[in-house]
Amino acid sequence: MGVIEGTARLKTVQAEYDFAVDAGAVGDITLRSVDGQGNEVPNGSVIEMGYIDVLTAVASATGTVALRAEAASDVLAATGAAGLTLGRKSVVPAGTGATAVKTTAKRNIIMTIATAALTAGKFRVVLFYK
């Protein structure tokens, strides 16, 4: 069976959280698109790897942040705000079969804030998928 042109390459989805825009209440926030291409990973995609680029350190008294595409914490396990300082951070999908995430429907990147509200922060999530 032939490959549909353009489908064999890794594709990118970028999503952003910004406290100044999204606030920081405990609960789920659907991250916003960065590049106008949308914040969606298509049904049946496999997220192979990625990173988080923290542009403004995340702050909270005791709050945690988790990220998901398909299931709870499959992109980032619950991490204390102090762990989201400036710079690039690793995500769960790390280029191995054991860490890859396969979507069963079209999915947005969702951030879950737990324990306490956030008081600052801005970051971009960049995921590579097929």
Kindly report, residue by residue over 92-109, the tens digit of the pLDDT. 999 999 999 999 999 999
Tell me: pLDDT of 2 over 50. Answer: no
What pLDDT sits at residue 3?
45
Mean pLDDT over residues 1-20, rounded?
Answer: 78
What pLDDT sits at residue 60?
97
Q: Quote the strand ranges of the chain, DSSP E.
A: 11-18, 27-30, 32-33, 40-41, 46-59, 64-68, 76-80, 87-90, 101-102, 107-108, 110-114, 120-129
Domain 11-129, CATH 2.60.120.1110 — does that match? yes
User: CA 44, 127, 112, 90 torsion: positive or negative?
Assistant: positive
Report which DSSP code applies to 81.
G
* 58 burial level (CB within 10 Å; 0-12, 13-18, 19+): buried
What pLDDT sits at residue 7?
62
User: Percentage of the chain with pLDDT > 90?
Assistant: 88
